[in-house]
Chain A
Amino acid sequence: MGIRLDKSWETLNPETIASLPAQLGVYQVADDDCNVLSVGYAGARHPFGIRSALDDELQFHGNQATKFRYEFTSNYRSRWDELLMLHLCDHGQLPEHQRGEEHRIGRLSPD
């Protein structure tokens, strides 16, 4: 079983977000060149799950964020940490606005 979130990217806009079910899960948001801008989760505090979380991302990144991919899971906390660790392993650092998480998360050597 692959542990990376390697589904195909979808277009990030208000319409695609509104079409998603309001479930809990994890996601990545990226720019046109598929550079990951955020690794996030939709948790129980998001009123409409992944929809609310992606709305927040769109607000935060503005036009720069054009793609996303996601996975529904009620284990969003441990899966989020896993995705952050994988990102750190693959890129050497987390997306800029998430660098503060680097001290908190662990280290994986998946390959």
Chain B
Amino acid sequence: MREKATTLYIGPQHPGITGNMMVRLKVEGDTIVKAATEVGYLHRSFEKLIEKRNWLQSFTLLCRFCVPEPDPVEESYARAVEMIEGREVPERAKYIRVLVLELARIGSYLLWYGGQSGSLGLYTVGQWSVGDRNYILDLFEALTGARVYHMYIWPGGVRRDFPKGFEKKVIDTMDYLEKRLDDYDDLMFDNAIFKKRTKGVGIIDKEKAVEWGVVGPPLRGCGIRSDIRIDDPYEIYDKLDFIVPVEEGGDIWTRALVRRQEIRQSIRIIRQVIDNIPGGEYYNKVPNPQKWALPKGDAYARTEAVRGEVGMYLSSDGSINPRRAHFKGAAYVHAITLLEHLLVGENLADVAAIMNSLGTCPPEIER
């Protein structure tokens, strides 16, 4: 006998991911028969607001596109502006930007460790990883003056140079983390429960992934090597030695493995940055922000965030404000197109784990 379908709601208050979003589920017994993502809790009209601000003022909004990893948005905006204007960015600034982006990647993955494990009931991981992420935030605080919303990468370079002794602090933190990652392997990746609950769950079809525009770890977890840092290198990524890990399988487990390896690659990148960073300027100062007009033109700058490719499109009509700003996020495809499809046929208990594994970021969807 067919069971009667029930409607359930996951969210909208922080449904195990950062930010407010809701998934409406139709379940029969424990099995999901239909899923619909509902957003609308976080819309702040950033893209419209950017049009109203001058080219510099907007940079305080950008970090708020995605809370756990604000920096790629700052970077893509800054670079789009620089592309329109033809503004040179000092080499040192490019190194610092990459350092910031990779620190953000690590911090963000650590937060994801907590979320992914928490969604399976493994709360200890989250307590550790949020604590460890704080060491990254300490670095941000020392470098940018703020822990979460850095407002640091801006057109022309970065806002301040390294504070005294910063390089050593970075290396010490990397040394610590590198050792610490083994503990996570023990507790999380070697954990029988974690493996059981993630292997074969939330399987993304490789072809569908390409068709729908899935990016980042969800795509690389399907065995497709795609990463803007390699495919269309920006800043100084073409000068760095690192690999983009891929795993075959398309389930939560392979997505987790991809992220696990990426942290180590980020540490590797950060060490190279500290070893090779040149001296010189860190900022090619922009003119008085009140009257700084960009030439006519448009540009699209894409960056590899933890969620995958993100990008900022900016259009200038020659005035002191952008004519149009449009952000291409990764989370929209993952949290709506993909998630709605992926949940069907899955078990109710796995919903949170699947959502987490996709790198959904509601504030980025809505912005």
B is a partner of A: no
